[in-house]
């Protein structure tokens, strides 16, 4: 099964719509970008949030979470129909040439989970042992995604609070210059920029990333579960037609849904 990567249209569209909405909102209110461009507020919110998260989280968890950022702009195409079609292709190979022949197919599998499942089936380790190994790997993938999502949720909790702290610091400066009343209004407005930064950072960046990670993880778990059940069925020697019906029932795919052909060699 080949894994095709393409730009994640939802993420890109969301970034564009959010940015356009903010800019248009500022324009309609007559607010210029430099009015909300406060370096001090940005330093307090961003650096404060980063520092708080580093204090809260182990370094290895931080590294793993940051590694997922580039993937937010890309999407791995892995429809249930494609996974099933690929598994059925391997089942036909095993039916025609035996489980040992699957070892040659493993090298062409781009999905690492599928590759390991194929090798386990071809090695004849037994259905129970194969099931335990694959389920342990699925649990590990889920735990990794949850750890990364928790990292960004934790950061999202700190950002608004630090924004309030930045606003309070700004107000302290305003209070020190009450003798210049003409500057008080501008100073108060500038003080609350930090609050805006904290709220936007949390709700337009950090929380969406955490939610996207969990959504991607759910889709990945679904694909892995289909691969697991399909390869276990192959190891048990089930007929390809029976395997297809079983996997389609698990995925609840309509009979009319088209499936892309699997890239699997079916002849020696």
Q: What does the DSSP 8-state code read for residue 31? A: -
Rounded Cα gap, residues 134 and 128, in angstroms: 10
* Residue-number span of the structural domain to which 153 is assigned: 4-251
Residue 177 lies in a domain: yes
Residue 267 lies in a domain: no
Residue 256 lies in a domain: no
Residue 227: predicted pLDDT: 92
Residues 125-168: tens digit of each pLDDT: 888 999 999 999 999 999 999 999 999 999 999 999 999 988 88
Q: From 25, 45, 34, 48, select the one nearest 194 (Cα to Cα).
A: 45
Residue 39: predicted pLDDT: 83
Q: Domain count of the chain?
A: 1
Residues 37-84: tens digit of each pLDDT: 778 888 899 999 999 999 999 999 999 999 888 877 777 667 888 889
Stretch 216-228: mean pLDDT, rounded? 91
Residue 262 lies in a domain: no
Residue 42 lies in a domain: yes
Q: How confident is the model at residue 14 (pLDDT cuts 50, 70, 90)?
A: confident
Stretch 9-16: mean pLDDT, rounded? 83
255 has pLDDT over 50: no
Q: From 89, 9, 90, select the one nearest 259 (Cα to Cα).
A: 89
Residue 234 lies in a domain: yes
Residues 185-194: tens digit of each pLDDT: 666 766 788 8
Residue 268 lies in a domain: no
Q: In b/e form, how buried is each residue of 180-207, taking b as 16+ CB within 10 angstroms?
A: eeeeeeebeebbbbbbbbbebbbebbbb
Residue 257 lies in a domain: no
Q: What is the 3-state secondary structure (H, E, C) of 64-77?
A: HHHHCCHHHHEEEE
Neighbours of 86 (CB within 10 A): 25
Q: How confident is the model at residue 180 (pLDDT cuts 50, 70, 90)?
A: low
């Amino acid at each position: 099964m080949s894994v095709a990567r393409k730009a994640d249209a939802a993420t890109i569209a969301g970034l564009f719509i959010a940015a356009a909405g903010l800019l248009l909102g500022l324009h309609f209110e007559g607010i210029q970008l430099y009015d909300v461009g406060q370096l001090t507020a940005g330093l307090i919110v961003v650096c404060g949030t980063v520092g708080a998260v580093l204090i809260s989280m182990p370094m290895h968890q931080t590294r793993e979470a940051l590694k997922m950022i580039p993937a937010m702009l890309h999407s791995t195409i892995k429809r249930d129909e494609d996974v099933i079609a690929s598994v059925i292709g391997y089942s036909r190979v095993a039916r025609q040439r035996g489980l040992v022949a699957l070892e040659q197919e493993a090298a062409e599998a781009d999905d690492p989970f599928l590759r390991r499942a194929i090798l386990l089936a071809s090695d004849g380790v037994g259905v129970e042992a194969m099931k335990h190994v694959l389920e342990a790997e699925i649990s590990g993938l889920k735990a990794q995604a949850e750890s990364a999502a928790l990292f960004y949720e934790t950061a999202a909790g700190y950002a608004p609070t630090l924004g309030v702290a930045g606003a309070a610091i700004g107000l302290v400066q305003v209070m020190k210059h009450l003798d210049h009343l003409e500057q008080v209004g501008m100073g108060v407005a500038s003080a609350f920029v930090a609050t805006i930064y904290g709220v936007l950072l949390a709700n337009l960046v950090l929380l969406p990333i955490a939610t996207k990670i969990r959504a991607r993880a759910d889709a990945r778990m679904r694909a892995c579960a289909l691969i697991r059940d399909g390869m276990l069925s192959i190891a048990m020697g089930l007929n390809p037609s029976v395997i297809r019906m079983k996997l389609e029932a698990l995925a609840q795919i309509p009979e009319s849904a088209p499936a892309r052909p699997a890239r699997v060699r079916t002849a020696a």
